[in-house]
Structure 1
Amino acid sequence: MTLEPDQNTGGPRLRLSVVRDTTIVATLIVLGLYAGSAFLIPLTMALLINVLIIALSDRVISMARVPVWLANIAAVTVVLAGLFVIMYILGSQATQFARSISTYETQFDGAVNRVTGLVGNDVTTFIRDNLVSIDMSYVARVLLSSATSLLNQFFLISLYVAFLMAERLAFRKKIQLAAGNPETGAEFTTILDAITDSLQRYVGVKTFISLVTAGISYSVFKALGLEYAETWAVLTFALNFIPSIGSIIAVIFPAMIALVQYETIGPFLIIVFGCGTIQFLIGNFVDPALLGRSLNMSTFLVILALTFWTTVWGLIGAFLSVPLTVCILIIFSHIPALRPVAILMSLDGRLGDDNAPARTQ
């Protein structure tokens, strides 16, 4: 950001015009993100899925020594098939939930009475006053509509992914041509490689961790005979991509269903303490150990990014908050004027290219 000498003190003084222009640009960007969410969200998800496919394709090539085109086809098939299964489970079981919603409404009073023995009459009264008034049929319609919308967007995302994979090799050549000179082209390529590397590690590790967590949780749900166990397992997988609060929500939902479904509180306690312990151990020990310093972001920044992207793009923004913020941090770290901002965004003040040779402005 431009500074000019202060005539009175001799120190640098921030120009008002720079603050004004920066504020205007930032406001326009936020408004553009909000207004263009219907177009930008599927495109952003397609880019992240493309990164996951490339990472899986590279792993197949390194392990099986197969041609690039065959590895790409295998990676695309595995990733898109997995996503389709997720969408199908959510869509089909949301319909079943909508049909059986009246059963849950009649069982709710019994669940509230069981809670009385655990938390007392005051909390029970609060639950009755605030939850009984919820129109569960409306909730079911919203869930069904959301599942249908996700299934529709899946085909659009798949189309984006197909064209991104088709232009994967040509894209780097176009960057060199668009840059105008070799130095600028090399800088763009460096930024792109840094973003791709960080996103591949994040998406790959989080996908593996979420699959393990969802698999263990699904085993617990099936052992208990919990209704819609597949849906809760899929939600556990997806919610683990939301930092901090996602794992908590992934335990609350199936626990509440267990409280309504069963006449005893045993299954409820098993899910709360069993799945909750698994989420705690994986989130606080396994996740940091596997990710390491690949996502060197401030903890406060993670919460701030979660709040911002959720406000702008809703629930999908919560899923995408960390990858999007990683991209912003990397881009800022390669722009000399914005590098101090990237340092403030990092966890320990060190950036990924600190060991690289210093660049001249």
Structure 2
Amino acid sequence: MPDFLLLTFQKNKMDTAKKIYVFLILITIVVVLIYAQSIIIPFILAILFLFLIRVIRRILAKIKFVSRWPQWILTLFSSVILLSFLVFTVEMITRNIQHLTATLPVYEANIHKITQLINAQFEVDLSDILNDFAKDLNFGGILSKIFSTLTNLFGDAFMVLLYLIFLLLEEPTFPGKMKAMYPDKKRFEQVNGLVKKIDHSVSSYIAVKTMASLLTGLLSYFVLLFAGIDAPIFWAFLIFILNFIPTIGSLVATLFPTVFALLQFGEFTPAILVLAVVGAIQLVVGNLLEPRVMGSSLNITPLAVFLTLALWGLMWGITGMLLSIPITVILIIIMSEFPETRPFAILLSRTGKIKD
């Protein structure tokens, strides 16, 4: 066999072997992500909480008398603020769930009333369908599942807290370790720049998304309170959480209190009011205010948003949907730094331009 043919054959063989190795590595990563999610999810949540603490710390550092405090005191104070908010939220959600459970008979009785309204309005006999639906419907079970899902978003609370403590302890020593790991100045600056880009992009996304979700939840709370919806804090918090899921979350967050208003009052008017006003809030904050504030910091194509939403949702459920965008932001930034993976980063980006 001629030498050039032998070289070509060996090169093709090496390329094929490399592709097989990459494929096997990807399969292994997916399997690990699925079966080790009880360990990985709390760690990722701890990292996201660390980003939130850093955002709170930066905000506090802008206050004149607070900016003079040592870094560790700022970190401790920021951690206390975040953890206090989480404890307060869990307490309020628990109370609201108990209140909703106590009023379940009223909601179940209204199903018959809604059936008669639909029959009168649209001349469609839905009695048999809704009666069967009412027999199988278990509001207590539904509320329990919602509450269970919300609590599972934080994974194992002890594990998340433990990871977070170790991350906070490691944070001050990380720059020194980076310099020791990369003694070459050029390589250190490249890696340090990558870390800063990840920090800036993820922190910006979390900060803006959290503020937008808080604003949406707060405005929705006043709407639900005015409409007389039971447990408005619970539904406002549900809206706040679901807003972190792109597109689909906002839709579900609007439909949940709308359906509940229909079941609570047994009338269409309150439900239509909730649908219109809460939907308008979602539209204004999500499509007008949030993009203006976020700008180009979230450089992801809408197609990539839906694909990653489906992928992480398939592996980790609702928790994966909530974490899909921060994970994708980090992956795009990392892939943009390497020539082999840069085309994938460009493909996933919104504009096709990656900042260096």
TM-score by length of 2: 0.88
1:358 aligned partner = none
Q: 1:275 to 1:145 in 2, by over 3 A?
A: closer
Aligned counterparts of 2:140 and 2:296: Cα–Cα separation in 1: 46
Aligned counterparts of 1:147 and 1:352: Cα–Cα separation in 2: 36
Residues 131-146 of structure 1: pairs in structure 2 closer than 5 A: 133-146=136-149
Q: Is the 8 A contact 1:301 1:345 kept in 2?
A: yes
1:35 aligned partner = 35
Q: Is the 8 A contact 1:252 1:272 kept in 2?
A: yes
Aligned counterparts of 2:201 and 2:136: Cα–Cα separation in 1: 46
1:236 aligned partner = 239
Aligned counterparts of 1:284 and 1:14: Cα–Cα separation in 2: 49
Equivalent residue in structure 2 for 1:291, among 294, 303, 310: 294
Aligned counterparts of 1:335 and 1:190: Cα–Cα separation in 2: 13
2:175 aligned partner = 172
2:330 aligned partner = 327
Aligned residue for 1:337, secondary structure, equals coil
**Residue 84 (structure 1) shift:** 1.7
Tell me how many residue pairs correspond in the alignment. 346
Residues 243-254 of structure 1: pairs in structure 2 closer than 5 A: 243-254=246-257
Cα deviations by residue, 1:195-233 (Å, 9 ceiling, x for unpaired): 110011101111111111111100011111110111001
Q: Is 1:313 matched with 2:354? A: no
What is the RMSD of the two structures over their aligned residues, measured on CA atoms? 2.7
1:97 aligned partner = 100
2:350 aligned partner = 347
**Residue 180 (structure 1) shift:** 5.6
Q: Is the 8 A contact 2:227 2:270 kept in 1?
A: yes
Q: Is the 8 A contact 1:90 1:147 kept in 2?
A: no
Residues 1-361 of structure 1: pairs in structure 2 closer than 5 A: 15-64=15-64, 65-67=67-69, 68-116=71-119, 121=124, 133-146=136-149, 149=152, 153-179=156-182, 181-353=184-356
Could you list the runs of 5+ residues in structure 2 that have no partner in the other structure? none
Aligned counterparts of 1:13 and 1:294: Cα–Cα separation in 2: 42
Q: 1:331 to 1:230 in 2, by over 3 A?
A: same
**Residue 163 (structure 1) shift:** 2.4
**Residue 289 (structure 1) shift:** 0.6
Q: 1:107 to 1:21 in 2, by over 3 A?
A: same
Aligned residue for 2:63, secondary structure, equals helix
**Residue 14 (structure 1) shift:** 10
Q: Is the 8 A contact 2:154 2:160 kept in 1?
A: no
Cα deviations by residue, 1:280-319 (Å, 9 ceiling, x for unpaired): 1111111111111101111100011111111111111111
TM-score by length of 1: 0.87
Q: Is the 8 A contact 1:87 1:151 kept in 2?
A: no
Amino acid across the alignment from 1:91: T
Q: Is the 8 A contact 1:88 1:151 kept in 2?
A: no
Q: 1:205 to 1:176 in 2, by over 3 A?
A: same
Aligned counterparts of 2:13 and 2:126: Cα–Cα separation in 1: 56
Aligned residue for 2:203, secondary structure, equals helix
Q: Is the 8 A contact 1:98 1:144 kept in 2?
A: no
Q: Is the 8 A contact 2:111 2:266 kept in 1?
A: no
Amino acid across the alignment from 1:294: S
Could you list the runs of 5+ residues in structure 1 that have no partner in the other structure? 354-361
Larger CA deviation: 230-239 vs 107-116: 107-116
Aligned counterparts of 1:76 and 1:62: Cα–Cα separation in 2: 17
**Residue 124 (structure 1) shift:** 7.6
Aligned counterparts of 1:285 and 1:148: Cα–Cα separation in 2: 31
